[in-house]
Amino acid sequence: MIKKIKDLPKRIKVGNKYIGEGEPAFFIAEIGNNHNGDYFLAKKTIEEAVKSGADAVKFQKRFIDEVFAKELQEKPQTKDQIFGKTYGEYRQALELGFEDFVKLKKVSEELGTIFFATPFDKKSVDFLEEVGVELYKIASFDSTNLPLLEYVAKKGKPMILSTGMTSLEELDEAVETILQYNNQLIILHCVSVYPTVDKSLNLATIPFLKERYAPLPVGYSGHEKDYSPTLAAVALGAKCVERHITIDKKLPGPDHALVSIDPEEFKKMVDGARRIEMALGKPGKHLFEEEMATRNKHSKSLVTRVAIPAGTILTAEMLTCKSPGYGLKPRMLSSVIGKKLKVDLLADTVITNDHIVWEV
């Protein structure tokens, strides 16, 4: 269990929006590498993501020599060879340059959405600082990379931490490392299986994380093929949702077909989440004005079984309970018994307050 830290926020400001308690779920369209190294495909995907209701678009940034050892870079690339014959060539082909990032950030801002990225190394953090991002995402791959967590946290900007592939002890350590320098933290439940089948999603982790790291916002980074489990995550309290997006699942690349949803699915997901949020409402038991017509028609009132003349002392045998429900409630039966009737009542008459002599 992490040490309790005072003054942790329950809402975190990102751009002109907040993520956290009392706010609608914040939807991130994870473009990641689905631009395939092509600026124009990246730009088109941003435009489609915004149309689909994304609050933010997220990319990835790596300096290949900083992230991958030589032995991994030199491994043959057995699939998607359109991007290169070795793993290093393949990864390098998916990287966008500085000017691309700057232009894509401008495109995003002009469309009213937040542009940010996941850095996979310190040099990429410096790159993104120069680009001017206002938010950072830490991938599950780096949730145990404490030097990187510390380096990003010291930038003082909001951070989103994915939690796939970590033990609870490792996650506590990651959270504590970040909170030493930065309390603007959002934690995402994530399972790093691509794609993730239903039995492995374990969405019950979301309320667990909400309790463990309260009051910090908790969300969900999903890798299932569709979006139904994502809606369940929102119902369980996810305040930040990240899903991969592609404009064409048939494109070559690691994420298009396996874990991405298309713009139409993304929009249905966002619309579905907004409906769920509206349906969840607020805690407590509420009697809604819209219920009153049905209540007055179908709930029960005290009703006379027989004709009763004025002045009669009421007994239980004289009364029953029937609809409509505008009269004295059945719970008042014991209070009415022994009271005198003020007026003549026919059989099968709804009894109201004015029919009873309450004071002697």
Residue 187 DSSP SS3: strand
Contact criterion met (CB below 8 Å) for 105 and 97:
no
Predicted TM-score (pTM) of the model is 0.88
Cis peptide bond prior to 254, omega within 30° of 0: no
Q: What is the pLDDT of residue 255?
A: 87
pLDDT block averages, 10 residues each, the chain of length 360: 76 96 97 94 98 98 94 84 83 93 98 98 98 97 97 98 97 97 98 95 98 97 96 98 96 87 97 96 89 92 97 96 96 96 97 92
- pLDDT of the residue at 258: 87
d(CA 7, CA 358): 56
Cα–Cα dist 118/59, whole Å: 6
Question: In angstroms, rounded to a whole number, what is the distance separating the alpha carbons of residues 266 and 260?
Answer: 9
The pLDDT value recorded for residue 257 is 84
Rounded to whole angstroms, the Cα distance separating 174 from 141 reads: 12
Taking alpha carbons only, the member of 255, 252, 251, 235 closest to residue 243 is 255
Closest CA to 17 of 9, 27, 29, 8: 27
Per the listing, tokens 């609809």 go with 323
Distance CA(240)–CA(218), nearest Å, equals 7
For residues 92 and 145, give the distance between their C-alpha atoms in angstroms, rounded to a whole number: 22
8: Cβ contacts below 8 Å, ≥ 6 apart: 179, 183, 215, 216
Q: How many other C-beta atoms can be found within 10 angstroms of the C-beta atom of residue 293?
A: 9
Q: Mention every residue, 6+ apart, whose C-beta is less than 8 A from residue 4.
A: none
Q: Which of 3, 4, 8 is nearest to 186 (CA)?
A: 8
CA–CA distance, 101 with 61 (Å, rounded to integer): 10
Three-state DSSP class for 132?
A: coil
Q: What is the CA 103 to chain-centroid distance, rounded?
A: 29
Residue 299 burial class via C-beta count within 10 angstroms: exposed 0-12, middle 13-18, buried 19 and up: middle
